[in-house]
Amino acid sequence: MSTLVQNPDYAEEGEHQPLQFKLYDQWDDEDDLWIKHRLEALVNQQITPEQLALDMDHRITALTRRNRDDGVEPQRAEQFIGPFFQALTKMCSAFPPYHAGQNQLIALVKALNALPRHVIPEGLSPAQLEEKPWITTTLWSFDNSYQEGNWKACAEAFDFEHVYIWAPYRIRNYDSAMARLTCAGLINCAFLSSLRFILPTNKEYPDLTKRPIDGPNKIGNNLVGAAQWILGPEECRYAYTECQKVERVGVRQRKLWSREHWAEWKRQFAFVAGDERFAQKYRSVAAQAHHQMITCEQEEELRQDV
């Protein structure tokens, strides 16, 4: 039996149902487990995003307090924030687009961002820094324009996890979560979007004449992930707005949005939708995405005419 058939990540049920969480690691410590247990409770509707946001805020504030009641040296803020983002990214690949579990994860980041801003020490004392003042960080300033969507390197956590995601449904789920967080102005994951992979200039784009069998499947799987940045009206408006700001970007830049790329993505969706070499499931998604792009353009024209 094929290994892919045995792997639950490739089962057809993954189209509409959550995949395995793959959340826990053998080296998890007390803080890791505190975070992961509560993320599971969150997606299982056992705790609200608002309550978990408050619990997290209280815990990290207590852990980094300079004069802890228990006499223990304060932890560095990164010892809690880093594992949180790593656990969050693992969960993001498990849930289909707009599944209740994914909604809870997005709502958690929004709830953290909505908390009153306050400063905590990073955890290194002035003595450790040669008598310099305490270094501090401000919780939880995701939408601070100065951070450019990468507060405490949260976008880099998505980049780290991205390399371990190969199954098509996980790619789709990950793209969907990243698109929603990006469009909400919280975590800018655009540089990881599968929209990159459906550009013919990308090294991952196969030559269909040389790869007539697996080539259409590779493009199709990447296209389904890419479509998550287009299919939703909010996501599509965001992509369109960002693309209108610049004509083109360099191939090796992390920047994604440009008018040139928007036009090419629309061509690619139209191409796949009308080419019989692609499976119907890919052609259907491509047709929907192409239609959404045209609708978005028409709506923008109407707004400008008003």
The token duo for 95 is: 């849930």
First to last CA, the chain: 61
- The percent helix, strand, coil of the chain (3-state, each to 5) is 60, 5, 40
Q: Name the band, by pLDDT with cuts 50, 70 and 90, for residue 18.
A: very high
- Residue bearing tokens 């259907």: 284
Residues 6+ apart with CB under 8 A from 125: 66, 74, 134
Summarize the confidence of residues 85-105 as an average pLDDT.
96
Summarize the confidence of residues 143-165 as an average pLDDT.
83
The yes-or-no verdict on residue 134 having pLDDT over 70 is: no
The pLDDT value given to residue 1: 44
Residue spans per domain, the chain: 11-154, 193-305
The pLDDT value given to residue 5: 54
List helix spans (H) across 115-232.
154-162, 168-183, 214-227
The angle at the Cα of 261, spanning 256 to 262, to the nearest 5 degrees, equals 110
The pLDDT value given to residue 40: 97
Please give the residue that has the higher pLDDT: either 253 or 103: 103
The pLDDT value given to residue 131: 52
Percentage of residues of the chain with pLDDT beyond 90 = 69
The yes-or-no verdict on residue 3 having pLDDT over 70 is: no
Summarize the confidence of residues 239-268 as an average pLDDT.
93
Please give the residue that has the higher pLDDT: either 133 or 283: 283
Q: In 3-state terms, what secondary structure has residue 79? A: helix
d(CA 124, CA 129): 7
d(CA 276, CA 115): 51
Rounded to the nearest 10 degrees, the angle between the axes of helix 100-114 and helix 30-43 is: 120
The pLDDT value given to residue 128: 55
Question: Using one digit for the tens of pLDDT, what is the confidence trace for 105-119?
Answer: 999 999 999 999 998
